[in-house]
Amino acid sequence: LGRRISKEVYQREYPEPRRRVLFHWQGLRLLQEVQSGLASLYVYATPDSYEPLARIDGSMGREVVQYFHTNLAGLPEQLTDANGNAIWRNDYEGWGKTRDEWHSPHQAREQNLRYQGQYVDREISLHYNTFRFYDFTTGHFIQPDPIGLEGGLNSYAYGPNPLAWIDPLGLFCGVAKSSKWNRARQNLNGPGLRDHFEKHGSQVGANSAKEYDFSARTTIQNGRKFTYRDRYTNKPRVGYHDPDTGLFTATSQTGKVPVILTHFPESWSNLRRLPGFSTPN
C-alpha cells in the first residue's frame, strides 16, 4: 500500500541506528507507533477521520491516556492529560510550520502529528504525508503528484487554504482538489457547503462541514464517473459514485473551476435512471 513501516535514525560515527520507530497502520491511517519499547496508540474523532482525538501510551494495565485539542483543520495545538493539564502545546505559522513548541519535562514521548494524515520527521524538517513529503516552510510537497498532470498543472501544491482544506494522503487531485462549492465565498463556513452538510452530513457519517467536504472530495477521487442532465434545469452534470461506500457527489464541470453541487448516499441503480445518464467509454 505504499506505507512506511519503520524509520531509523543514525549517527555518523556509529553503524547501528541510534533510534528506530515502528509504525502500525489501520488501512492508510496511522494506528500505532512503537519507539524504545514504548507503544503509542492513536484514537481518531470518527471511524473515517484523520483528526486525532486521543493517544494512549503504554501497555495493557499501564496505559496513560492523553487528549488532543485541534484547530478547525484538525491540526493538534495542545495535548492534555486526564485531568486537563497541558503536557504539550504548539503554536504554528501559516502552512503548519512550528513557531513555538513546548512540552512538559515529564512528557516521555514527542507529539509528532501535524495536519491530518501528516507526521513530522524532525530529523529532516519535513512532514511525512503517506505518499509524499510535505515542506511546511513553503506549503508545498517536495515530490510531484504521483498521478502526474492529472492532478493539475501545479503538481506540488498542497491545497488552497490550510485552515479549510485537508489532504491526509497527499493524493487529492484534479476535480477532487480544484472544485469549489456551489455558492460564492465558499470555504468551510460558506453557505453552500454548510447548507448541504446540515441536510446530508449525518447520512454520510460526517460530524462537521470539514468532514462532509472531505467525504465529497474522496468520492470524486475514488468514484466512478458518469454524466447526466439535471432533472429540473436540464443542465449537464458530472457525477461520481463510490461503490465501496455507496456515496454520490454531483458536480458541474462546464466552467473553468469545477463546482460541487451536493453529496449524499445513492444507489447506482437509481443514478442510472437520471436523464441523459452515460458513462465514459
The three cell numbers locating residue 100: 513555538
Summarize pLDDT for 141-197 with one digit per residue, the tens: 999 877 555 555 577 888 766 765 667 777 666 666 667 887 644 444 445 788 899
Do 247 and 187 lie in one domain? The reply is yes
Whether residue 269 is predicted with pLDDT greater than 60 in this model: the reply is: yes
Q: Are residues 131 and 202 in the same domain?
A: no
pLDDT-derived band at 81, boundaries 50, 70, 90: very high
13-51 per-position pLDDT tens digit: 888 888 999 999 998 899 999 998 899 999 998 877 888
**Domain limits at 244?**
175-281
Residues 242, 264: contact at Cβ < 8 Å? Answer: no
In terms of DSSP bridges, do strands 259-265 and 52-57 run parallel, antiparallel, or are they unpaired?
unpaired
Q: Is position 55 within any domain?
A: yes
- Is residue 178 helix, strand or coil? helix
Are residues 125 and 15 part of one domain?
yes
- Determine if the pTM surpasses 0.75: no
pLDDT above 70 (res 277)? yes
**Placement of cell 476535480 in the chain:** 175
DSSP assignment string, 194-221: HHHHHHHGGGGT-SSHHHHHHHHHHHHH
Same domain? For 131 and 179 the reply is no
- Of 97, 100, 102, the C-alpha closest to 85 is 102
Cell 449524499 appears where?
Answer: 264
Give exposure, 92-118, as e/b (b: 16+ Cβ within 10 Å). beebbeeeeeebeeeeebebbbbbbbb
Would you state the pLDDT for residue 168? 73
Beta carbons within 8 Å of 203's beta carbon, 6+ residues apart: 264, 265
Q: How far is CA 240 from CA 46, 151, 262, 280, in A?
A: 23, 17, 11, 12
Q: CA–CA separation, 217 vs 223, rounded Å?
A: 10
Residue that terminates a domain, selected from 80, 113, 135: 135
Same domain, 224 and 280: yes
Q: Is the pLDDT of residue 126 over 80?
A: yes
Predicted confidence (pLDDT) per residue in 197-256, tens digit? 999 999 998 888 878 888 898 898 888 999 999 998 999 999 999 998 999 999 988 766
Helix (H, G, I), strand (E, B) or coil at 40: strand
What does the block give as the cell for 93?
505559522
In a domain, 165, yes or no: no
Instruction: Indicate if the pLDDT at residue 1 is higher than 80.
Output: no
